[in-house]
Structure 1
Amino acid sequence: MVYYRSVGDVPPKRHIQHRDPEGGLYREELMGEEGFSSDSALLYHQGVPSALTNSVVWELSDQSRTPNHPLKARHLRLHDLDFGAGADAVTGRRLVLGNNDVRIAYVVTGTDASPLYRNAIGDECVYVESGAGTVETVFGVVPYRTGDYVLVPRATTHRWVPSEPSRLYPIEANSHIHPPKRYRSRFGQLLEHAPYSERDLHGPGEPLLVEGTDVEVLVKHRAGGAVVGTTMTYATHPFDVVGWDGCLYPYTFNVDDYMPITGKIHQPPTVHQVFEGWNFVICNFLPRKVDYHELAIPVPYYHSNVDSDEVMFYVGGDYEARKGSGIDLGSISLHPGGYAHGPQPAAIEASLGADRFDESAVMVDTFAPLELGEGGLAVEDPAYAWTWAGGTT
Structure 2
Amino acid sequence: KKTASWLYRIHPSAVHRPFRPLIPSPSHLVSAFHPGSPHVSLTPSQLRWSPFDLPRNGDKVDFIAGLRTVAGAGEPSTRHGIAIHVFTANVGMKKKAFYNSDGDFLIGGSIFHRLRLALSKPCDRILTQLARLPSINFPLIPCHHSTVPQHGRLDITTEFGPLMVHPNEICVIQRGMRFSVALPDGPSRGYILEVYNGHFELPDLGPIGANGLADPRHFLTPTARYENAKVDWHIVNKYVGQLFVAEQDHSPFDVVGWHGNYVPYKYDLAKFCVINSVSFDHIDPSIFTVLTCKSERPGVAVADFVIFPPRWAVQEHTFRPPYFHRNCMSEFMGLILGDYEGKTGGFLPGGGSLHSIMTPHGPDAGAVDKAITGELKPVRVAEGTQAFMFESCYMLATTEWGLNTCQKVQDDYWKAWAGIESKFDPAKK
- TM category, shorter: 0.7 to 0.9
Change (3 A) 1:283 1:38: same
Change (3 A) 1:341 1:374: same
Partner of 1:239: 253
Aligned mates of 1:339, 1:107 — CA distance in 2: 27
Gaps of 5+ in 1: 1-36, 185-189
2:67 is aligned, of 93, 101, 112, to 93
Secondary structure of 1:141's counterpart equals strand
Secondary structure of 1:194's counterpart equals coil
Aligned mates of 2:172, 2:29 — CA distance in 1: 22
Change (3 A) 1:169 1:246: same
Secondary structure of 2:225's counterpart equals coil
Q: Does 1:179 align with 2:232?
A: no
Give the TM-score, by structure 2 length. 0.74
1:109 Cα shift?
Answer: 2.1
Corresponding pairs, count: 344
8 Å CA contact retained: 2:82, 2:196: yes
8 Å CA contact retained: 2:212, 2:274: no
Deviations for 1:213-262, whole angstroms, at most 9, x for unmatched residues?
5532000011xxxx111102235432121111011111110111112222
Secondary structure of 1:78's counterpart equals coil
Deviations for 1:273-307, whole angstroms, at most 9, x for unmatched residues?
011225111101111111x23312210111111x2
Give the TM-score, by structure 1 length. 0.81
Partner of 2:28: 62
Deviations for 1:45-104, whole angstroms, at most 9, x for unmatched residues?
2212212323110223323542233x2100111334656633212221111222222222
User: Match of 2:275, as an amino acid?
Assistant: I
1:183 Cα shift?
Answer: 4.2
Moved more, 157-166 or 56-65: 56-65
1:349 is aligned, of 369, 374, 381, to 369
8 Å CA contact retained: 1:289, 1:357: yes
Task: Name the structure with the higher strand share.
Answer: 1
Q: What is the Cα-based RMSD across aligned positions, in Å? A: 2.4
Partner of 1:219: 237
Partner of 2:305: 282
Q: Does 1:388 align with 2:417?
A: yes
1:135 is aligned, of 156, 170, 176, to 156
8 Å CA contact retained: 1:311, 1:365: yes
Secondary structure of 2:342's counterpart equals helix
Gaps of 5+ in 2: 31-38, 75-80, 109-148, 296-301, 423-429
Q: 1:36-115 maps to which residues of 2 (within 5 A)?
A: 38-58=2-22, 59-64=25-30, 65-69=39-43, 71-80=44-53, 85-100=59-74, 101-113=81-93, 115=96
Partner of 1:321: 342
Aligned mates of 2:64, 2:239 — CA distance in 1: 14
2:389 is aligned, of 363, 369, 378, to 363
User: Match of 2:72, as an amino acid?
Assistant: G
1:269 Cα shift?
Answer: 0.7
Aligned mates of 1:392, 1:331 — CA distance in 2: 28
Aligned mates of 1:110, 1:191 — CA distance in 2: 44
User: Match of 2:242, as an amino acid?
Assistant: V
Aligned mates of 2:185, 2:245 — CA distance in 1: 27
Change (3 A) 1:384 1:281: same
User: Match of 1:248, as an amino acid?
Assistant: Y
Q: Percent identity?
A: 22
